[in-house]
Structures are given as C-alpha cells and as structure tokens.
Structure 1
C-alpha cells in the first residue's frame, strides 16, 4: 500500500495519498461497543467493484468477500469482545486498483447485545414468466441464531418504494419443507493416540449422531492424526455411514489439526437458488492441539471463513483461543468424553434452527416492460432497525405479462 502509514499501537487511521482510495468507514475506525451484527460501509468514488479483507489478525490477510458491486457488506454472528480488522481494495474501469487503509472495531461484551429483533440476509432474487418474483432470504436473531417461526403475515414487500398488496400479488411464503433443501455435514474426528482410551465412546457418540440425522441430510466422515483419512463420502445412507464409522480407530501421536480443518472445509460447498438450497457445516472434535506444524493457524482460519464450523474440544490439552477461531458457529469445551453426545445434540438443535430459518417469498408483480425495479423486504413491527433489518435488491420486469 504505497503512500500508506499506519501506527497500530497508536490506533490512528493511516493516510493514503490517492483521493480515490476507500475512505469514510462505518463503523468508525477504532470504535468499541459495536454490535455482533453490523454492516461494513465505505466510500470510493469511481470504483466499480471491491474486495473485502476481514479477520482478527493484523493485517487482515483473509479475503472475506470478493467482487462486491456495492460499498457495503453485512456481517452477522461476530464474536463478542473481539477486535476485528478490515481493509477494502477498490477496482476501477481502467484495470487499476487501490488498497484502502486498515480499519478496526471491537464488538460489545457478551450478554450486552440482548435486544430483541430480526436480521434478514438476502441470498437470491429470481424472476420467471408470466410475472413471478421469488426472493430467498434467511431470518436471524441478533445473536446470529436462526428464526424459525415467522408467518407470511410477518413480511412486508415493497416494489419501487410502494407496498405490495398480499392478496392482489398472491404473495406466499414457503419454509424449508417446501424448498428442495439438502443439508450436508462433515464429521471431522481426531483419532490421535491421546484418545486411545476414548475411541469407543467417541465412535458411539458419532454413531448416535448419524442414527438421528435428518432424512435429507448427507454426512461425510473424516478422521485425522498424522494425516487426514476420509472414512465416508457424502451420503444419506444411514447404514452405510454406521458401517463407515466402525473404521474410526486410533491413529498416530502426531496431529495435523490445521491440515485436517483445511481438508474438511474444502468439502463445505453451499448453493442458494430459489429452487434449491444446499447448506453445509462441519463438526470438529479434538482433544489436543496441532503438533505437526505442516500448516498454520491462519491457513486453517482462512479456510473456514464464511463457512459454518462447530468446534468441540476435550480436556486440558486444547487451546481454547485456537478452537474459538476455527469454530465460526461456536466453540464447545467438554471435560469428559461422556459429554460429547449431549454436545452433538446441542449442535444438532442449532443447525435445525439455522436450516429452518430460510424463507422463499414468491409473488406476482404488476410491473411490465424492460425496466429495473427496486425490491425491499422487511419484517413488520421489527424492534430492530439497524444494519440488516431489511433486504434490498433489484429485478427486471422484461417479458412479464398477465395470464
């Protein structure tokens, strides 16, 4: 970043000589007490797209989102009492790019972000003849947990700033049961020699998790110590998975924890369309730390950004800060392996809320002609009116007709 000077200890914002560099950050640089749900915003005149670097390390070396068309990005489920660093790279029509300053903010303490309300995340807007508009979104509470009980009457839809009549537009809201929804799960299980006395109990807990899975849920099983071994590819066949988990056996003393996380994360692929949703998450279980040194923590954390990972750590040898960084959806410490089954059940409950928090809104638009229209969706009487309290997008009514 030529022309940039930054004194991290002093906490001052760097100066960048180029007037076109990203500037005017929101939240303000170095601010504290930021909600765990926040929209990052900035300005960069004449820029056509942006890359966002974001993370807990300085400088932020993880591309959290790339090729953004708007100077904003909504973040949910951030960790409390955590300092985050972020940087925006602006790209221009002539092929040039300019890196902005590195900004930071610190989230509010745990338990202080308890206000009621809803956050909406937009995944897809699609149109179809004769005049159908479909919006796939997700509803979360302010702690980033899925909201599952919203009804069609709870939503308001606006076209070009005007409210739609639910009856005239034939507005409907479909939950997960009406969407072609597939849940994929990676079980990533430590099998290093330190677990030799607990292998059978871990296998039993994993077997019970498999036996209680949803019918549409596909599971892949990996075990790791010196190397990562795939015991089962994604399948929904319960009997096949139960046979595969019997191959979970004691491995070696060397533990490539970070390499295993990277390999497991590579299997997490999500697809969001109005016709199909594939949602994936990973459960990591370990009783220790990375002893091999083949990969770095930053590589492991980089691999799980924007992905759903639950980390379960057993005993005194674990590093809570490490597992907290890897466990993007939560870190669950246990003191005895007998607690593993209850933690799997707790995670299953969280996943169930997340999976059932998707809503497909469908209606017939009165718009006609080759024109771009704005679309906004919000929840009636939402007590939260901050970042993410509504979703905003556009659609083209080209080809729309009455039938």
Structure 2
C-alpha cells in the first residue's frame, strides 16, 4: 500500500471502466445472494422405514405469513448434496391430517360485566361464526370462565358443529356463580385443559390453539399476572398458538399481549366483537396452510445420509430449505417402496427442528379420517 506522501507525488491512474463494471457486478451478486431465499422451512418431525420410505412433516412460511398451496413438484430433494430425481423419489405430498391433529379451545369471559350488561347475545353470535369457520379443519372446544377457580366446559373438543352451536345457544341466559373475573387463573386452566385433550388423541403430532376473549382485567386475583406468564412460557406449550380478543375500554393491549403471543384483537365496542373474532379465525385458517407432509422413496441403502428439502414458491416468490440426517441401514426392496404409505412418527407433541428424541413409535393408519 502506498504511503500518503507517495500517493500525492505519484497519483494512481483511475480504474479502467471494465474493472469498475466487474466490481459493480460482483457487489450486485453479493447483494442478490444475501436477499435471496425468503422462505423459512421448519422441520416438525421426520421418520424413515424399510423398504426405503422417508417422511418429513414441516412448515413453510415467509416472514409471519404461512405459504400454502405448494405441490410435490415445488420441492427438490437432495441427499448428500446430490439432487434425487423425481422419477426415483416418487415424491408426494400427503394430507397432514393423516399424522397430525389440531385442537382449538375458545375460552370466553362470562363474568358479571358481560352478562349484566346484556352482552351475551353478541358474544354468542360471534363465537358461533368463529367455531363454524375453524371447526372445518380441526376439533373445537368451548369453555367459559367467571370469578370461579375453575373454568366451565360448554362443549368438549369435537368435530360436530351441531354440538358446538347447541352448547353456545345455552349461554344466552347464563348467570355466573361468581360475577368477578378470574382471567389469569382461567388462562392457566385453559391451556392445561387443552394439553390434556391433545394428550388423549392417538395421532403422533399434536397442535393446540388457545383463543381467549375478555372484556376486563383480572379482578379475582386468584393467580398473579406473573404466575400466568410463567405457565404459558413452559416448554410443553412452546408449539401452541395463543390469541387474545379484548373488548371495551377497561382492558389494555399490553394485557392482551401477555396472553396472545401469536396475535391480539382489541374491539373498542360491542359492534366490533364479531369482526375481531373473524380476524382471529382467518389467521388460524391461514396458519393451517403452512403444514406439509412430504413422502418419498430414498435411493440410499446403507449408512447415515444428510437430506435437504428445498421449497420453491412462485407466489409469494422465494425459496428455503431444511436439513436433517437419517439412517438407511438395511434399506432396499423387496417390497417396492410406496410413497403413499402412512408415516411412522415419534409419539410426541410437535418437535421443533432437530434430531428426534427417543419414545414410542406410532404407525399412522391409512384409513384416518380426512375432512
């Protein structure tokens, strides 16, 4: 490098235009690489089984928005860095409901401030629209709370819309035994009840959503705000989604966000309650579309192999990938690999990306109901 004195005495010639062009092209290329991709692909679980089946359950998102509608042709499969031909892989997208179950709990505030202000009818109407919409893709349970220590079951988790509507109709004339508001305690009871319902289901992959509606702050003080937040922060609820809907001037957005880590809606008056419920229902519907169950036949016959699944989307435009390893010892026909075979997954709640731990394995029956 020339010293400042020498540089002044002997100025360097300007860079040749072709060299400047090359520098600009290189800089632009680096920028494109840094901005490329855009999709987040997250492995939930994966499995493999003889003769040579491989399954992976994952989500595809861009930012906070789910990416739905991808087909088997929108994915590329690499093993040990080499592209596996679609002719050889026979890759297919199976219905996620074959291996996974989704439960949503609607937890409604029916304390004295709701019933005495004659707001029950508007709340029931909004809840009916919500359950009708969300119930098309998952099991829905409806529970209520007031100032009592325990929440009250209106309709346990079910796929029957008629049962949900009948239970909600009965709330129009409901009178709370304790008119106070046990919001913190109800949220804790609600998420525990949601987990209990999911734990009873035999499908290996379980996803829960808690939607809480309230018009005020916790007045009963049975549990503190910090106790509620500590419960919701436990690892066992890490993959649960939680939404909160508030109405009226009493409740604050910060209080809602303590509960609704995945989204909140604040209605300023009763006229906007239905709209708030519809927005949350729409978000749950969109989130459902991010799940994929990809099945393929691996050409590997022995040893540990690294798999990369690349997702390529045209709308929204972007790509992303997920990687993991599997053991193919003893693989190979006969019989021939059937990519439509039901998957074998660990019997556990949704597992974030990473190697699966131990546990009992469950083979999902091909006859699982699909709506």
Residues 75-103 of structure 1, C-alpha deviations (whole Å, 9 max, x = no match): xxxxxxxxxxxxxxxxxxxxxxxxxxxxx
Secondary structure class of the residue paired with 1:167:
helix
**Residues 199 and 250 in structure 1, CA contact (< 8 A), matched pair in contact too:** no
Aligned equivalent of 1:326, options 259, 264, 271: 259
**Residues 152 and 172 in structure 1, CA contact (< 8 A), matched pair in contact too:** yes
* Deviation for aligned residue 1:132: 0.6
C-alpha distance in 2, partners of 1:116/1:391? 12
1:335 paired residue number: 268
Aligned equivalent of 2:211, options 279, 283, 299: 283
TM-score normalised by the chain length of structure 2: 0.69
C-alpha distance in 2, partners of 1:296/1:376? 46
2:108 paired residue number: 189
Change (3 A) 1:148 1:380: closer
2:367 paired residue number: none
C-alpha distance in 1, partners of 2:168/2:268? 23
Does 1:240 pair with 2:159? no
* Deviation for aligned residue 1:232: 2.1
Structure (1 or 2) with the larger CA radius of gyration = 2
* Deviation for aligned residue 1:137: 0.5
Residues 62-84 of structure 1, C-alpha deviations (whole Å, 9 max, x = no match): xxxxxxxxxxxxxxxxxxxxxxx
* Deviation for aligned residue 1:315: 0.8
* Deviation for aligned residue 1:154: 2.2
Report the RMSD for the aligned CA atoms in angstroms: 2.6
Secondary structure class of the residue paired with 1:285:
strand
Runs of 5+ consecutive residues of structure 2 not aligned to the other structure: 1-34, 337-371
TM-score normalised by the chain length of structure 1: 0.64
Does 1:207 pair with 2:128? yes
Aligned equivalent of 1:126, options 47, 55, 73: 47
C-alpha distance in 2, partners of 1:153/1:236? 32
Higher strand share: 1
* Pairing 1:78-97 to 2, within 5 Å after superposition: none
2:305 paired residue number: 373
**Residues 310 and 347 in structure 1, CA contact (< 8 A), matched pair in contact too:** yes
* Deviation for aligned residue 1:300: 1.8
Paired residues, number: 282
1:12 paired residue number: none
Aligned equivalent of 1:157, options 77, 101, 107: 77
C-alpha distance in 2, partners of 1:183/1:399? 35
Higher relative contact order (CA 8 A, sep 6+): 2
**Residues 125 and 134 in structure 1, CA contact (< 8 A), matched pair in contact too:** yes
Change (3 A) 1:373 1:115: closer
* Pairing 1:4-403 to 2, within 5 Å after superposition: 117-143=38-64, 145-176=65-96, 179-196=98-115, 197-227=118-148, 228-248=151-171, 249-251=174-176, 252-269=178-195, 277-305=205-233, 306=238, 307-369=240-302, 371-380=303-312, 389-402=320-333, 403=336
Runs of 5+ consecutive residues of structure 1 not aligned to the other structure: 1-113
